[in-house]
Structures are given as C-alpha cells and as structure tokens.
Structure 1
Amino acid sequence: MKVTILGCYSATPRTFTNPTSQVLEINNHIFLIDCGEGTQVELRRNKIRFSRINHIFISHLHGDHFYGLVGLVSTFRMLNRENPLHIYGPEGIKEAITLQLKLSNSWTDYPLHFHELTSEDSQVVFEDDKVIVSTIPLQHRIYCNGFLFQEKLGDRKLLMSKVLNYDIDKVYYKSIKKGKDVILDDGRIIPNSELTDDPAPAKSYAFCSDTKYDEEKIPLIQDVTTLYHESTFLESHKYLCDKTGHSTAIEAAKIAKKANVKNLILGHYSTRYGNIELFKEEAQTVFENVEIGDDGKVFKY
C-alpha cells in the first residue's frame, strides 16, 4: 500500500504548497482522493500515469478539494482517454463539472460516470474482488465524507514443501489456496492448515478531511493500517475549530489513539504556520506513530 501526497494544505494554493489531493495505490488499484488546484501538475511531477486513474473520490465541494477536477477531466479527453472514469462525491458535483464542460464545449469522448452521495451514514461506494471502499461521514461546515479503503483478504499461501509430500494434482492448487481440504485417492483427508499458511494481513487506509473533532467515526476506522486525519490548527488556535469545522493536531492524535490505528498522517495545515514540524510535536504528546504529510511525500506500508 502506497500513499503519495500531491497536496495537503488548506485554503489557497501557494507557489510552494498545494491544496488537498493524494493518490492511494492498493492491491493494483490507483485511487485519486480529492483534486485541488494543481493536481494534474503534481501527478506529472510524481510520475503517476493518468491512464491508471479510473476512480476519483471527492470529500466535499469546497474549492481546495475539487477545483482541479474539471481540468483533469478535460486533460483526460485531450489525452484520448477511452476507459470510463468514475467520480464519487457529494450531490451537486455532477452539475458543477458538467456545466463547465457544457459552457466550454469540452464534452468527454470517454464514459464519465458520477456517483453522487447524500447519505449521512457510512455506505459502500465501490467494491470488487480486491478492494472495498466505504464513506466515513465527517462533521464539517457542509456535507462531507471521508473514505475507508480496505483490501480484501487474499488467498492462503501454498506450502510447497508440504504439498509435495502428497500426490496432489496441480489442478487442486487453486482450491487449496481458497482454504479447502484435500481428499487423496486412498480416502485420506489432508487438512488445509497442513498445506497452507495464512495470507498476508489485509491493509486499510482511512482518509479523514475536513472535520472537527468527532468520536462517532471511531468505530468505522478502528484498527486501520493508516489514518490520514486533517490537522488544520495547532493548539494555540483551537478556538477556531468549532467555527471552521476543523481539528487540531492533538485532536487528530486523540482519534488515532482511540481508534487504535497503526499509523497517523497529518495534513490540511493552515497556511498561517511556517513550521509544520510543530504539528508532529504536538500530536506525539498523545500518539507516537505520527508522520507529517507534505507535498510530494510518499508513504509505503
């Protein structure tokens, strides 16, 4: 599992920072999460192939999280894209994007599918045989969702040194990896546990931006491999959180600790601060495994 931060600052772009956007690579999928201004430039800078992005998840309709989307959709067209593109986001995102395409006479030549979200409860928005993606309802100034990406548990691992002790046809290897016992020609039953080992633990990634401190989401992100949680303010500006619908670094760390996550990535910093290392210092007073998100930074798990 690999997370590439394309941008992780709040509000407006600057010459040296970008608003929210990131790429999650998990189980042969490449998912784009949020699409602030400058996203397609950062995709190129980080050598991420546009053609591999088939699913884009937009948390909410504040500009620093989706103003780069129509440009990216248009660029896909100019690159002669043929694969369908699926966009998941709040109700209204289809109108916002298609109006701009209409007025600029830039309709896509590829299938463009919008999946508009309205539920206040968690719901599955994407699923295949490898990954399941669910919403994480967040408490912001407007309707907002985070997203939980979960690998499905893979096949069991064949222990060939044990398998070769028996006269087992290769045609049965697939069913053995799926967990089935083996019945030999002489009637003996070889338990699956003797022939296989447990699969690698499934990884998971929770994206939570933007939101004020809210413990209701904790059951949804319990025990995830990695949590990205907004940390717009340091404690000195905590009084701004309720009004703006944001969190402090310490509040992000409290969520991480209560949810028993393995790793915490901070982001969505207010541009009023000159040193983002202060966010890590404050968060680590509550939760140890803290990483500082920053533009161009890559995390592998």
Structure 2
Amino acid sequence: MMESWTKASSQNVDNPVAEKPSAVPFAVTILGSGSASPALDRHQTAQLVTYCGDHFLIDCGEGTQYRLIEQRARPSRLKYIFISHLHGDHYFGLMPLLSSLNMGGRTEELYLFGPHGLDEIITTTFRMSNGQFFFPLHFQAIDADKPALLLDLPALTVESIPLDHGIGCTGFLFREKQHKPKLLRDRLPDNVPVGVLKALKEGQNVLDETGHVLYAAADYTTPGPKPRSYAYCSDTRYNERIIEQIQGVDLLYHEATFRDDNGQRASEVHHCTARQAAQLARKAGVGQLLIGHFSSRYKTFDEFRSEAQDEFPLTELATEGQSFKV
C-alpha cells in the first residue's frame, strides 16, 4: 500500500461545515442513473450531494468526471467520496477522477470510503503506472455486514446501510443534526448576562443558587428546524431489513433496475423492480422516492414511474442532470 494512504477517523475529520439553519443548501444532483450495460442516452451510477458548500460524491461510474464538469461542479471541490461496492459501473470512473485531481495540482486532503480491496485496486494501478499521489488520500474500509457511522461532522453525519446484492454492498444515509433552539431576544430583559444567553441557546434552563428556574428555555426559545435526511440505496434485492434504518427520511433514492415484467430476473441478479422500491418507501414512511439504475433493455422510463406510483405516489425518476432538494 502506498505511504500516502492512511485510515480516516469518523470522529476526527476536520471540516468547515458549521451548524446553520436548515435554509442552508442540501441537495442531490443525479450524474448517472443507468445500470451496468452502457447506453448512449444515460450514464453509469454517480450522484453529487451538496450540503452547506461541501461536496460529497456517491459512486463513480465511468465518465463521472465529465458529468461533474457538465454540471459545473468542479471536481477539485470534492472532499468526500463514497463507493457502494466493487461492480465496475459504480467505481470505474474513480481512477480517472483521482488521476485528474492529481495532475491538477490538488493539495487538499480527500477522504474515500469504500469496500475492502478498493485501496489495493488504486494502489496497484498507480504503482503499475509509476504514479504517486501529491495530495493526502485517506481511505476507510466499510464493513458491508452491519451499519456504521462513517463520518461525524459538526452539522451532518453519514452512515452505511447494509444491502443485499450478492457482493459486499452498502447504501449511505446522510442525516442533518438537530439544530439548536432559536433565541427569542424580544422576550428577554435588557442586560441579560452572556452566560445566560449561551445556556438558553443550548436549550438549557438557567437556575439560581437555590436551584429555582430563573430562565426557562421553553419560555425564551423556539425549537430549531427539523433535521433533514437523505438515504441512498444502491444495488440491492428487495430487503425489508433496511426499513428501520431509513424510516422517515425526507428523500430516498432506491435502485429500480427492472419493472414487474422482469421481477424474477431482478431477484436472481440481486436487484429490485420499481414496484418493490416503492413498497419499501411506503413501509419506511419516507417523504419522497427517487428511482434509478435502469436496465439498458428499457428505452423509456415512464412505466417505471407509473409502476412505482401505484405503490407510492410521491415517486420521481432520478433524471440525469436534475437536482432534488432534501
């Protein structure tokens, strides 16, 4: 393994993300929504999640760096990359992207989360081409058998979601942390000590020396905005075990490689139908569902949406180039 590789800590990653109101941008841009076989009118899986100015890349199918440029998202702004599994349509674009970042003079750290063995693939490729990294590249292997906290930032966490794909495969859950209460300054008397204000902003009651409440947080604050969440479920067979983990997320992306006409085939190759994805969304009580990873055997996708909306009306196609607010 190359010396530039180190293991990233989920607890100590420095990040500029600061806690702000939920008005901060939180969106998902679809870069590719096709499946393994190439097609002229669609691209292999990749998504860009943006939160408070930070860029998170989920999966990196062939040509992802071109898709980023098309969307005017500078690859140099990426700080975190998450790879769900080692099927080529989900990571074959990673090596060219890393190479371009290297040639572009990147010096900022990059954090990569992915399956066991991904580090060996990258190290071997760069060694055989007599290459080296000129920026710190931190790798953390993901255990595909159980959910885990991968990233703990000041305002956002990212967890892994174990999936059922016949190969180690995980989804990713982006969850905003609870916002601090909003201080109602007009209710407070003048010249309130700074320490009192800080305590109230943390939702804490302020007590006097005898333990009586001087300032009740409920009287001088309002709850912060509801935290938002996004769950990305990559290639997987219908799997109700994930429902508890994704329960109530605002936005769910779930693969829907086939329609009902190929339901048996979907199960055999560890994939889902559009209807099955929608059934999971309904059972998990999510806010909205996006479906993608469409098989190249299909030329149009309206029937995917219709099939899914029979089970879960708030379903949209993961249309390439389109951004969805969380």
TM-score under structure 1 length normalisation: 0.94
What's the CA shift for 1:16?
2.4
- Over 3 Å counting, the alpha-carbon distance change for 1:172 and 1:50 in structure 2 is farther
Mapped contact 2:60–2:94 kept (Cα < 8 A): yes
Alignment partners' CA distance in 2, 1:175 and 1:84: 35
- Over 3 Å counting, the alpha-carbon distance change for 1:119 and 1:4 in structure 2 is closer
Alignment partners' CA distance in 2, 1:292 and 1:10: 14
1:18 aligns with 2:53: no
Report the equivalent of 1:90. 115
Report the equivalent of 2:294. 269
After superposition, residues 1-301 of structure 1 pair within 5 angstroms as 1-163=26-188, 165-170=189-194, 172-182=196-206, 189-301=214-326
Equivalent residue of 1:40, what SS? helix
Which deviates more from structure 2 when the two are superposed, residues 250-259 or residues 234-243? 234-243
**Structure 2: segments with no counterpart, 5+ residues:** 1-25
Amino acid at match of 2:271: H
Alignment partners' CA distance in 1, 2:142 and 2:297: 32
Alignment partners' CA distance in 2, 1:26 and 1:72: 21
Amino acid at match of 1:267: G
TM-score under structure 2 length normalisation: 0.87
Alignment partners' CA distance in 1, 2:213 and 2:33: 59
What's the CA shift for 1:13?
3.4
RMSD: 1.8
Alignment partners' CA distance in 2, 1:89 and 1:277: 33
| Identity, % of aligned positions | 39
Mapped contact 2:247–2:286 kept (Cα < 8 A): yes
Amino acid at match of 1:110: F
> Which digits, 9 at most, give the CA deviation of each residue in 1:180-206, with x for residues without a partner?
234589x87011111111111111111
The number of residue pairs the alignment matches comes to 300
Mapped contact 1:61–1:93 kept (Cα < 8 A): yes
